[in-house]
Amino acid sequence: MKKRKKTSNILSSCLVMLLAIASGFFCGYAVIDYADKLSGSTFINLLVLLSGLLLIALAYLIQVLIHEAGHLVFGLISGYEFVSYRIGSFMISKGTDGKLSLKRYYLAGTAGQCLMGPPDFEEDGYLPVGLYNMGGVLLNAISAMFFFWAYYLSGRTVILPMLFLSLGILGLTQALVNALPLELGGVPTDGRNALSLGKDDKALRAFWIQLKINQCSSQGMRYKDMPEDWFNISGDELHSGPLNAALAVFRANRLLDMQLLDDTEQLISRLLEEGGLPGIYQNLLRVDSLYLQAMKGQAKQPDKALEKFMKAMKNSPSVLRSSYALALAHGDSSKAREYRHHLESLRHSYPFPGELESELELVELAENTLAVSAK
């Protein structure tokens, strides 16, 4: 299983690399064409090159916005309810009072995300997932065609052809990459999720539950207060796609929120040993494992790969909580205070208040447990 998954990841990476090279080649053509129209001294040429690269970066950002807008628009059409819209680490979130507010949240391996609350299941078990799930791909592809047309009509002006061509190339690239059933940076693509949803009813149920969990979390509800049946898993679900496997991760989150540390450790150990989880979930579970080891007086430093992930997720409450426990376990009270202060500073910016409350309680538990152990 692990060998097959590793081979699949390598092939996926090679395919995405080829698409990136092709996209870079054509964007490079756009920059050269742009530079030819503004050729001058060496200094001017350098400025032209830099401005061309900035335009490509802008085109990429616009296509990320378009992709997430596709999920939003087609989700609303399908009967979903708005929860949050994120680009980079900036998130517009619908809070507990129903009002929109600006929050900060980042998930490694993603440039953006649009989360929505799903409609209820119909009596026959039908859930409209196609348009919502593939809405980003559709809008990227549609916009790419529009921008190629705009490039054709833009004539011999200077900036617009460069921008339109880059928008078309990057829109088409994003549509292709997200439509393919891949796992990129540990995160399943829209195409991968769509493939899982088409396989069995369990995947559909898992998809609905994950969206409901995210919706309830944004409204301040904690994992331990959500319905128990949302977190029920069977032994075969880990190997039946990323959507089913993710439920096991949410169950580990629930057990940790309930402060059932031994049960959490047993489940995490089994999940990591059996594999089958997307990389992002594996790393988050390994972060939780650091906390559990520290609580038992067996604190270990993360390996280089996990340390890199934790740096990328340095504002994540779970990362700060585990880093706090590790610092305490190693007797570095000054560093521990920094992590705790950072965690407490997220009160007004973190979009999931119930999750933050849980993490602060786990910090208190670590302080009490490790302080007693140190005496």
pLDDT tens track for 264-323: 999 999 888 877 677 888 899 999 999 999 998 887 888 899 999 999 999 999 999 999
57 in a structural domain? yes
Residue 244 C-alpha from the chain's centroid = 17
Q: Which tops the pLDDT comparison, 153 or 338?
A: 338
Based on the domain organization, do 20 and 40 belong to the same domain? yes
Final residue of a structural domain among 165, 192, 219: 192
Range of the domain at 296: 199-374
Q: Which is more confident, 221 or 51? A: 221
Is it the case that residue 43 has pLDDT exceeding 60? no
Higher per-residue pLDDT: 178 or 53: 178
177 shares a domain with 149: yes
Are residue 135 and residue 218 in the same domain, yes or no? Answer: no
Predicted TM-score of the model (pTM): 0.83
Residue 64 sits in the same domain as residue 205? no
Produce one character per residue of 45-59: b if its CB has 16 or more CB atoms within 10 Å, e if not.
eeebeebbeebbeeb
Looking at the predicted structure, is the pLDDT value of residue 374 above 80? no
Are both 370 and 295 inside the same structural domain? yes
In this structure, is residue 85 part of a structural domain?
A: no
Assess if residue 215 is contained within a domain: yes
In-domain check, residue 110? no
Residue 107 placed within a domain: no
Q: Is the separation of the CB atoms in 63 and 171 below 8 Å?
A: yes
Share of the chain above pLDDT 70, in %: 82
Residue 98 lies in a domain: no
Q: Label residue 134 by pLDDT band (50, 70, 90).
A: very high
Q: Do 134 and 222 share a structural domain?
A: no
217 in the same domain as 152: no
Confidence check: pLDDT of 71 > 70: yes
Could you give the C-alpha distances from 29 to 82, 95, 141, 168, 210, in angstroms and in order? Answer: 39, 45, 21, 13, 42
Whole-number pLDDT of residue 1: 45
C-alpha 3 chain-centroid distance: 25
Q: Tell me if 113 sits within 8 A of 174, measured CB to CB.
A: no
Residues 6+ apart with CB under 8 A from 358: 222, 223, 224, 256, 257
Q: Does residue 92 lie in a domain region?
A: no
Sheet containing strand 90-94, edge to edge, reads 100-104, 90-94, 81-87, 112-117
Which of 12-16, 158-162, 265-269 has the highest mean predicted lDDT (pLDDT)? 265-269
Mean pLDDT of 132-136: 92
Confidence of residue 2 (pLDDT cuts 50, 70, 90): very low
- Among candidate residues 192, 223, 244, the one where a domain is terminated: 192
Do 188 and 209 lie in a common domain? no
User: Which of 103-117, 137-151, 227-241, 299-313 has the least mean pLDDT?
Assistant: 227-241
Same domain, 364 and 247: yes
What radius of gyration, in Å, describes the C-alpha atoms of the chain? Answer: 23
Residue 331 lies in a domain: yes
Do residues 297 and 363 both lie within one domain?
A: yes
Q: Are residues 186 and 229 in the same domain?
A: no
Query: Are 36 and 48 a contacting pair, CB within 8 Å?
Result: no
Q: How many domains does the chain have?
A: 2
What is the percentage of the chain residues whose pLDDT exceeds 90? 48
- Tell whether 160 and 14 lie within a shared domain: yes
> Angle at Cα 336 formed by Cα 330 and Cα 340, nearest 5°?
150
Please say which residue of 162, 192, 222 terminates a domain.
Answer: 192
